[in-house]
Every structure is written in structure tokens, then in C-alpha cells.
């Protein structure tokens, strides 16, 4: 009885019938003629019928052989279709891509990238998971994550995309009293706002020529989302620090003022994290390229403010 494991025998039989010759089939399959003959014989044994009538001059397929050939052709066609489908998947991104990121990066970087990405690849769907709280990437079945700062121990591969500073900023009205400040420590008594995920009482700043300075801020308000912290800054609730990409338009249009030019709280690296493995999937590789293209397209946002 023929089973699914007899696929290789069916393939050999189809080549023999196509060529009408054991020798020609052996040359195509790079096997010896005796091996070809043995495999056809084994298939006949499995079928319980003679599939080929062979003489010294010619070869004729039997009625049973014609039925087996039809089955072998269907198998061959199905395998060819599968191969074409897999080749297409490898060459053209398709399927669902799950992207994890922070709330501000979701709107400022990921969303514009996704818009271009789904326009270029109609077989792709993207799911954005936006949260300022770090989540378990494996549990969330994330394909790519964007994170600010060095990632903790993880099985994901980290790729550097950009380096951003975090300057001190304030609303114009609040900044009036602090315009002459030359060192961050002079701002210790001012009202401050911050992201609630930040810890530690003191803040250490890096200045011109490698100088450092430290202060313990007076925190008047905090929020658990970067976009809300920016709103607090714009509303004049206090001074604060945020990565440059979130401040770009507000500083350029005068809604926020940089205090203590040349001083930054820290420089943070923007990383793309992808699952480790022997190779990246086409959809992940294409989205990484899209992220880099978006960073270049919106270069002013990701260039240094100070």
C-alpha cells in the first residue's frame, strides 16, 4: 500500500515516465541506473501492480502505472506550488508584525514608518503595542521593539538606531526667572516635573568640556507617560528633561526654552530589539529598513538640539 512516505518513489517514477528511459532519469536525478530501477521496483511492490512494461527496445506504462503517474503529478504540482509560495514569502514581506514601543515613539516614529510600510507591502498588517512600561516581549509575541536606553539582559538582539540627549527645558513664562542660569545646580529650587518611571533623588548632568554637575530637584508633578510629561512642561508646571525627539517642534516654535545650553542630563540610545535566531524574517528586515529610512527622512527631529 502506498503511503505519504512514498513521495520520493513517486517522484522517481514520474521522471522515468517523462524520459521513457531509466538511463535518462538516472542522469537527471544524478543516481545510478540500478538505483532508479530498484526504486521503481519498490514502488511496484508497494502498489501491488506492475507499473511499466519493459522490453529491450521500449517501455510502456500500464493502466495501473497511469493512475500512479496521475497521483505522482498531483504531488509534484503541490510541491512546486508550495515552493513558489515559500519563495514569495521570503522575497516579499507578508503576515502580521507586532511592534512594541513607548507612547511618544509610537506617534513620532513608528506610526509614520508603518504608514509607508503598509503602503509598500499590501500583504502586511502591523500591530503597535504602545506603553511606557516595559513588557515581556516574548510573552507579548513581539517581533520588534523600540527602546530608549541600554536593554537589560534579553534574548533579543539590539541594534542602535540613534543617540539622543535630554536637555533641561521649560515654558517661556517659567524660563524667564532662570535664563541666566549657567549650571544645573542653580535650578535645584525650581519646580520640576518628571516621568514616574524615573528613580533616584539626585540628577547628574554632563556639560561643556566634560564638566559635570549634580542637583536634587524639587518634584512638583509627575506622570507615567512621556506625552503627558511634555504637556506638563508646555503648561508651565515645572522644568524637566525629555529626549530631544519629543521636544523638537516645541523648542523650534518657541513653546519650550532650553535652559543651561550645553548641559544635558544624559544621552540615551534608541535601540531596535528583534528576536535572536539564525536569520531575520523578511517582514522584520523590511521594517528595520523602514525605520532607518524614516529617521533619515525626518532627520531634523533626530539631530542634536544642544
In a shared domain, residues 56 and 202: no
Residue that is last in its domain, among 47, 66, 89: 89
143 and 167 in a single domain? The answer is: no
Last residue of a domain, one of 70, 89, 108: 89
Question: Residue 100: what pLDDT?
Answer: 94
Answer yes or no: do 283 and 147 share one domain. yes
Q: Does residue 185 share a domain with residue 265?
A: yes
Asked which of 89, 119, 135 is the last residue of a domain, the reply is 89
Tens-binned pLDDT, residue by residue, of the chain (306 aa): 666 677 788 888 888 888 888 888 889 888 888 888 888 888 888 888 888 887 767 788 888 888 888 888 877 777 666 555 555 555 678 889 999 999 999 999 999 999 999 999 999 999 999 998 877 788 888 999 999 887 775 678 889 999 889 999 999 999 999 988 989 999 999 999 999 888 778 999 999 888 999 999 999 999 999 999 999 999 999 999 999 999 989 999 999 999 988 899 988 899 999 887 655 688 999 999 999 999 888 887 877 665
* Alpha-carbon gap, residue 106 to 52, rounded angstroms: 66
**Residue 94: what pLDDT?**
84
Cα separation, 115 vs 98, in Å, equals 14
Q: Are 176 and 197 found together in one domain?
A: yes
Distance spanning both ends of the chain, measured CA to CA = 78
Residue 12 shares a structural domain with residue 73: yes
Same domain, yes or no: 226 and 264: yes
pLDDT of residue 47: 85
Asked if 62 and 102 sit in the same domain, the reply is: no
- 180 vs 186: CA distance, rounded Å: 10
CATH number at residue 199: 3.40.190.290
Question: Domain of 43: which CATH number?
Answer: 1.10.10.10
Instruction: Evaluate whether 306 touches 267 at the Cβ level (below 8 Å).
Output: no
User: Which pLDDT does position 264 carry in this prediction?
Assistant: 93
17 and 52 both lie in a single domain: yes
Do 252 and 171 share a structural domain?
yes
Pair 131, 265 in one domain: no
Is residue 110 within 8 A of residue 98, CB to CB? The reply is no
**Whether residue 121 sits in one domain with residue 66:** no
Distances from the Cα of 209 to the Cαs of 4, 122, 227, in angstroms?
73, 50, 32
- How many domains, in total, are found in the chain? 3
Residue 239, burial from CB neighbour count under 10 angstroms (0-12, 13-18, 19+):
buried
Owning domain of residue 213: 163-269
Amino acid at each position: 500500500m502506498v503511503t505519504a512516505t512514498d513521495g520520493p518513489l513517486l517522484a522517481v517514477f514520474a521522471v522515468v515516465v517523462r524520459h521513457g528511459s531509466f538511463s535518462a532519469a538516472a542522469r537527471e536525478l544524478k543516481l545510478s541506473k540500478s538505483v532508479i530501477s530498484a526504486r521503481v521496483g519498490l514502488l511496484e511492490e508497494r502498489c501491488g501492480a506492475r507499473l511499466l512494461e519493459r522490453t529491450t527496445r521500449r517501455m510502456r506504462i500500464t493502466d495501473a502505472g497511469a493512475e500512479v503517474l496521475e497521483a505522482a503529478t498531483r504531488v509534484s504540482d503541490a510541491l512546486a506550488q508550495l515552493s513558489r509560495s515559500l519563495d514569495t514569502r521570503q522575497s516579499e514581506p507578508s503576515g502580521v508584525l507586532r511592534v512594541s514601543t513607548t507612547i511618544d515613539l509610537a506617534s513620532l516614529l513608528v506610526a509614520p514608518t508603518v504608514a509607508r510600510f503598509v503602503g509598500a507591502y499590501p500583504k502586511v498588517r502591523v500591530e503597535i503595542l504602545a506603553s511606557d512600561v516595559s513588557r515581556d516581549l516574548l510573552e507579548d509575541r513581539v517581533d520588534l521593539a523600540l527602546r530608549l536606553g541600554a536593554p537589560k539582559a534579553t534574548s533579543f538582539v539590539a541594534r542602535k538606531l540613534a543617540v539622543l540627549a535630554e536637555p533641561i527645558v521649560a515654558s517661556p513664562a517659567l524660563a524667564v526667572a532662570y535664563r541666566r542660569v549657567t549650571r544645573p545646580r542653580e535650578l535645584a529650587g525650581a519646580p520640576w516635573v518628571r516621568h514616574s518611571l524615573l528613580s533616584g533623588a539626585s540628577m547628574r548632568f554632563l556639560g561643556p568640556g566634560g564638566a559635570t554637575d549634580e542637583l536634587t530637584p524639587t518634584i512638583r508633578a509627575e506622570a507615567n507617560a512621556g506625552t503627558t510629561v511634555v504637556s506638563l512642561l508646555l503648561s508651565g508646571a515645572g522644568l524637566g528633561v525629555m529626549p530631544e525627539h519629543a521636544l523638537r517642534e516645541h523648542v523650534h516654535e518657541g513653546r519650550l526654552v532650553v535652559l543651561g545650553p550645553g548641559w544635558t542630563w544624559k544621552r540615551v540610545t534608541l535601540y531596535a530589539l528583534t528576536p535572536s535566531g539564525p536569520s531575520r524574517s523578511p517582514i522584520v528586515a523590511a521594517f528595520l529598513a523602514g525605520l532607518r529610512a524614516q529617521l533619515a527622512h525626518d532627520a531634523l527631529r533626530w539631530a542634536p538640539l544642544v
